[in-house]
Every structure is written in C-alpha cells, then in structure tokens.
C-alpha cells in the first residue's frame, strides 16, 4: 500500500497523547486494547498484532467514535500524513432526503 509506517506510528502517538488528555487513561487503554494496540506504561504504544493496518484502522474508527470532535481530529490528521480514511469513516456520496426515506418505508 506504500504507507510510511513511521507516519502511522506518529499518527497513533499523536492521537494517544491527545486522547489521554481529553478522554483519560481508562478510555484510551480500552480503545487501544480493542484495536490491537498496546498502551505502555510510559504512554508510548506498540502493536499487538502483525496486521498493523488492520489495527490502525480499528484504532482510528474507535477513536473517531468518541464524538464529532474526535472524528474531525482523525480526519484532519489523516489528511496531514496522507493516509487513506478507513472505509467505516468514509461517507456515502449520495443519499435521499429524510422525507423520501420516510415515504419509502
């Protein structure tokens, strides 16, 4: 895929650093373990799984799930390090109005 692993590591480290400040250690430890990322005692991170991209995607989706601000943070940082957004965070390009969807139910 040609993605720089250092950039990935930097991205996760930035999100972990921000997340520890914003959401606390307990929540960050949980999304790290849920994602296959080890949160070490010195607040650095390591990968628990060989599938780094899979773990990264899970971590990003979990982090973005905190709230709108965390989602925006993920989107901005990914743009800065030029990593494609996980499919789960991508949006449909076209949909129907709520009115039409209700009519079709």
Partner 1 sequence: MSKIDPKKAIEIKPDVWWIGWPDHDAGFSNNPYLIIEGDEVILFDPGSRLDTHWQWVKKKMESVVPLEKITMVVVHHQDPDLCAAIPFVEQAVGVNNFEIVTTERTALFIPYYDVKTEVTTVDDGESIEIGESGRELRFITSPYLHFPGAMVTYDTKEKLLFSSDIFGGFSIDWALYANEYYLEAMKVFSQPYLSDQRHVRNFLGKIKDLDIEMICPQHGSLIPRERIKEAIETLYNLEVGIWE
Cα distance between residue 75 and residue 19, in whole Å: 15
Among 40, 48, 69, 80, binds partner 1 (CB under 8 A): 69
94 belongs to the binding site for partner 1 (CB under 8 A): yes
Cα distance between residue 26 and residue 11, in whole Å: 20
Choices 2-10, 24-32, 33-41, 65-73; region in contact with partner 1 by CB under 8 A: 65-73
Look at residues 8, 14, 20 and name the one whose alpha carbon lies nearest to residue 55.
Answer: 8
By beta-carbon proximity to partner 1, the closer residue of 91 and 105 is: 91
Task: Report how far Cα 102 is from the mean position of its chain's Cα atoms.
Answer: 32
Closest CB 75 distance from partner 1, rounded Å:
9
**Interface contacts to partner 1, rule CB under 8 A:** 68-69, 71-72, 91-100
């Amino acid at each position: 895929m040609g993605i720089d692993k250092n950039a990935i590591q930097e991205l996760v480290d930035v999100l972990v650093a921000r997340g520890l400040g914003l959401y606390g250690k307990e929540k960050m430890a949980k999304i790290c373990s849920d994602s296959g990322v080890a949160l070490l005692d010195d607040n650095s991170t390591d990968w628990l799984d060989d599938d780094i991209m899979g773990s990264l995607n899970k971590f990003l989706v979990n982090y973005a799930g905190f709230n709108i601000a965390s989602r925006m943070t993920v989107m901005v940082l990914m743009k800065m390090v030029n990593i494609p957004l996980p499919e789960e965070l991508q949006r449909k390009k076209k949909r129907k109005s709520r009115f039409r969807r209700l009519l079709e139910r």
